[in-house]
Amino acid sequence: MKRYEDLSPSLRCIMTPGPVEVDPRVLRAMSFPVLGQFDPEFTGIMNETMEMLRELFVTDNQWAFPVDGTSRSGIEAAMVSLIAPGDRVLIPIFGRFGHLLHEIAERCGAEVLTLEKEWGCVFDPEEVIAAMKSFKPDIVAIVHGETSTGRVQPLAGIGRACREQDALLIVDAVATIGGVPVETDAWLLDAVIGGTQKCLSIPSGMAPVTYNARAEAKLLKRKRVERGLRTGEVQVEALDFVRSNYFDLGMLQDYWSPQRLNHHTEMTSMLYALREGLRLVLEEGLEARHARHALHEEALVAGLTAMGLKLYGDPQSKLTVVTCVLIPEGVDGEAVRTMLLERFGIEIASSFGPLKGRIWRIGTMGFSCRENNVLRLLGALEGALLRHGHAVPAGLGVQAALDVYDAKVR
Ligand SMILES: Cc1ncc(COP(=O)(O)O)c(C=O)c1O
370 secondary structure, DSSP code: S
To the nearest 10°, report the CA torsion of 67, 69, 71, 76: -70
**Which residues partner with 90 through β-bridges?**
113, 140
Counting from 1 in the atom list of ligand 1, the atom nearest the Cα of 75 is 4
DSSP one-letter code for 232: S
CA distance 407 to 344: 28
Ligand 1: distance of its center to the CA of 48 in Å?
A: 25
- 368 C-alpha to ligand 1 centroid (Å): 18
Tell me which residue has its CA closest to atom 7 in ligand 1. 71
Q: What percent of the chain has pLDDT over 70?
A: 100
Closest by CA position to 133, among listed 110, 115, 151: 115
How many Cα neighbours within 13 Å face the side chain of 94?
29
Q: Which atom of ligand 1 is nearest to the CA of 172?
A: 3
Atom of ligand 1 lying closest to residue 148 CA: 16
- Give yes or no for residue 203 CB within 6 A of ligand 1: no
Of residues 383, 331, 378, the one with CA closest to residue 359: 331
174 lines ligand 1 (CB under 6 A): yes
Give the C-alpha separation, 129 to 146, whole Å.
20
Tell me the per-residue pLDDT of 254-307, one tens digit each, with 9 for 90 and over.
Answer: 999 999 998 999 999 999 999 999 999 999 999 999 999 999 999 999 999 999
CA atoms of 112 and 137, how far apart (whole Å): 9
The answer to whether residue 238 scores a pLDDT higher than 90 is no
Establish whether residue 143 lines the binding site of ligand 1, counting it when its CB lies within 6 angstroms of any ligand atom: yes
Mean residue pLDDT of the chain comes to 97
DSSP state of 354: G
CA distance 128 to 144: 13
Q: What's the gap in Å between 400 CA and the centre of ligand 1? A: 32
Grouping H, G, I as helix, E, B as strand and the rest as coil, residue 94 is coil
pLDDT tens digits, one per residue of 39-65: 999 999 999 999 999 999 999 999 999
**Nearest one of 122, 129, 127, 174 to 149, comparing CA atoms:** 122
Is 90 exceeded by the pLDDT of residue 74?
A: yes
| pLDDT tier at 20, thresholds 50, 70, 90 | very high
DSSP states along 32-101: SPP--TT-HHHHHHHHHHHHHHHHHHT---SEEEEEESSHHHHHHHHHHHH--TT-EEEEEESSHHHHHH
* In the chain, where the domains are located: 23-281, 286-408
CB 103 near ligand 1, within 6 Å: no
Q: What is the pLDDT of residue 229?
A: 85
CATH number of 286-408: 3.90.1150.10
Closest listed residue to residue 244, CA positions, set 140, 46, 108, 67: 108
Matching CATH number, 23-281, of 1.10.260.40, 1.10.10.10, 2.10.77.10, 3.40.640.10: 3.40.640.10
Check pocket membership of 305 for ligand 1, CB cut-off 6 A: no
Whole-number pLDDT of residue 176:
98
**How far is it, in rounded angstroms, from Cα 373 to Cα 14?**
8
Query: Do the beta carbons of residue 290 and residue 368 sit within 8 Å?
Result: no
Can you give the pLDDT at residue 237? 80
Which amino acid belongs to residue 215?
A
What's the rounded mean pLDDT across residues 231-241?
A: 80
Ligand 1 center to 97 CA (angstroms): 7
